[in-house]
């Protein structure tokens, strides 16, 4: 049985300061909470200070209302040399009916830093179950796809800043 701390659960009550005019939680306010959960999960796993390098496949499946209790599940899916993919799932609970809905999911890549602010190696991930293996392979697939997109953009000679030239 591994001693690695790969999972983290964080619960937050949705308050009016997080909401828009119609009482629905802002996507950005929720993302801030998801980023915190990813930070805590990756820092506890690696025993290092970590930074967010990227965020992939954010899916807002259902809206979340003020007054609902949101549970954020974070898991270390994949580990490279200095980076970790943290899978995130958010579940909202209506506290008056106890009904729960899977509202949001995404994948953060967090990078561990040493005391000089440089990327530093993280522990290799213990793969113990078939599910661990599947999550690892899916994380590796997303990394490969991200690299392929970067490569294809380079081949097309597209720089992300190009699209903003008209606005200068």
Ligand X SMILES: CC(C)(COP(=O)(O)OP(=O)(O)OC[C@H]1O[C@@H](n2cnc3c(N)ncnc32)[C@H](O)[C@@H]1OP(=O)(O)O)[C@@H](O)C(=O)NCCC(=O)NCCS
The residue among 94 and 137 lying less far from ligand X, judged by its C-beta, is 137
Q: Please identify, using beta-carbon distances, which residue of 62 and 144 lies nearer to ligand X.
A: 144
**146: CB partners within 8 A, 6+ apart:** 54, 56
In whole angstroms, the minimum distance from the beta carbon of 101 to ligand X comes to 29
Question: Which position's Cβ is nearest ligand X?
Answer: 80
Nearest by Cα to 110 from 27, 58, 49, 160: 49
CB of 54: closest distance to ligand X in angstroms? 3
Q: Give me the residues that bind ligand X (CB under 6 A), please.
A: 51-54, 80-83, 109, 111, 119
Cβ closest to ligand X, residue 14 vs residue 34: 34
CB-nearer residue toward ligand X: 68 or 78: 78
Among candidate residues 93, 54, 96, the one with its CA nearest the CA of residue 73: 93
Least distance from ligand X to the Cβ atom of residue 10, Å: 19
Q: Report DSSP letters for 26-71, one per residue.
A: PHHHHHHHHHHHHHHHHHHHHTSEEEEEEEEEEEE-S--BTT-EEE
């Amino acid at each position: 049985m591994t001693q690695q701390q790969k999972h983290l659960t964080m619960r937050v009550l949705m308050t009016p300061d997080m909401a828009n005019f119609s009482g629905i939680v802002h996507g950005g306010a929720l993302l801030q909470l998801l980023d915190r959960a990813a930070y805590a999960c990756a820092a506890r796993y690696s025993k290092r200070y970590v930074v967010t390098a990227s965020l992939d496949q954010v899916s807002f499946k259902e809206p979340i209302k003020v007054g609902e209790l949101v549970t954020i599940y974070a898991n270390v899916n994949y580990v490279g040399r200095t980076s970790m993919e943290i899978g995130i799932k958010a579940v909202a609970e209506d506290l008056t009916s106890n009904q729960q809905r899977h509202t949001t999911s995404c994948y953060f890549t967090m990078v561990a830093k040493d005391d000089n602010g440089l990327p530093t190696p993280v522990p290799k991930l213990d793969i113990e179950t078939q599910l661990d293996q599947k999550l690892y392979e899916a994380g590796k697939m997303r990394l490969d796809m991200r690299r392929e997109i970067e490569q294809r953009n380079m081949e097309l000679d597209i720089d992300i800043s190009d699209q903003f030239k008209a606005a200068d």
